[in-house]
Amino acid sequence: MALLLLLYVITFFVSLSWGQVKVSLIWPTQEELTLLYYRLNRFVTASIVGAVLSCTALTLQTVTRNYLVDSGLLGVNSGAVLGKVLSMFLKVGPSQLFALAGSMVALIATFTLGSLGGSDILRLVVAGVVVNSVLSSAISLISLYLYTSAASVLSWTLGHIRTVSTSELIIMVVSLVLCFVLVSRSKQLDILTLSKEEAMSLGVNYRSEVFFLIAVSALAGSLVSSIFGVFSFVGVAAPNMARRIVSGGHLKLFLFSSIIGALLMAVSDVIARTSVAGIEIPTGLVVSFAGAVFYLYFFWSMSRDYSS
């Protein structure tokens, strides 16, 4: 824990001082102060995105009993991309609003399809796969034939961290609040690691609890992806790393996953900003690559004392 926090604090200072231009943190000039403000904005943004994606993924992983899912499970990411692509194609904006609408439509479609002929988690997940697949083909169709720049669509699917406006910041705070709602259900999530009947006998109203948790986490995830695009991997990696470090309840897991997620995202953002002079690599690309390498190292180095 202490090590993680230390790493996080180091990343904070590094992210402020490094960039295309080096800035001295002691006695900055007026110009440098402005630059520092933007870097701080990005650092906070990256951290929030990382934390939100980790918390939503952790929740969905517990509820579906599958450690490899993240907030894209129910189609919200492809919905957001489709919304964005449509707004570019129709040349109307703001594209964030379109993306948000797209992911909401995807979420509603998934829940509607998933509740046909009974409601259980498996139906919902299958519906999510279907919605994802249909939306992805729609995205490909538009980007291949209707919209000339497939590259900009591709870049959107990668996920960019950037400085945010006030209204975007409000949306991010909303997604953070949704995460706190998830954290407040830690006790219920702990019980949901048991079988359905055990959870019910311990007083959890299984169906409504599960659907509530899925809806809240998909919503929080869609808010993030409608602004920044799709970040793969961080949601899968962070909770799994947290599981290796701590054992037990979701309260602890939420804390550790969100710190790891924020750290991963903040570090990736620094790399994205600084590694190539003159241009910026999409943060989503860095986080997938760096995250995957780190994840692999993590599992190899810790596989001895833990097996399941």
Partner 1 sequence: MIIVPETSFSYNAHFSLSLPNITIDTFPTFLIGPNGSGKTTLLKILGGFFKVSPTVKVKWQGTLRETRPIYFAYMPAKPTYDANFTVRNYLMLSGNKRQLETIAKELELTKWLGRRMGTLSSGWLQRVFIARILLQDTPYVLMDEPTSFLDPEARKDLIESLSRHPERHFVISSHDLAFLSSFGKFVIGLRDGNVVFRGSTRDFFERGIEDVFVTGYIM
Q: Closest approach of Cβ 195 to partner 1, in Å?
A: 5
Q: Closest approach of Cβ 199 to partner 1, in Å?
A: 9
Instruction: Point out which residues bind partner 1 (CB under 8 A).
Output: 62, 65, 190-191, 193-198, 200-203, 243, 247-249, 306-308
Q: Closest approach of Cβ 202 to partner 1, in Å?
A: 7
Q: Phi-psi bin for 124: left (phi > 0), alpha (psi -120 to 50), beta?
A: alpha
| Closer Cβ to partner 1, 236 or 267, answer by number | 236
CA distance 279 to 94: 25
| Closer Cβ to partner 1, 242 or 290, answer by number | 242
Q: How far from each other are the two terminal CA atoms of the chain, in whole angstroms?
A: 24
Q: Closest approach of Cβ 256 to partner 1, in Å?
A: 11
Contacts for 304 with CB less than 8 Å, ≥ 6 apart? none
Q: Closest approach of Cβ 123 to partner 1, in Å?
A: 16
| Closer Cβ to partner 1, 98 or 206, answer by number | 206
| Closer Cβ to partner 1, 105 or 251, answer by number | 251
| Closer Cβ to partner 1, 185 or 243, answer by number | 243
Rounded to 5°, angle at Cα 260 from 256 and 263: 140
| Closer Cβ to partner 1, 97 or 251, answer by number | 251
What's the token pair of residue 100? 């948000």
Q: Closest approach of Cβ 253 to partner 1, in Å?
A: 8
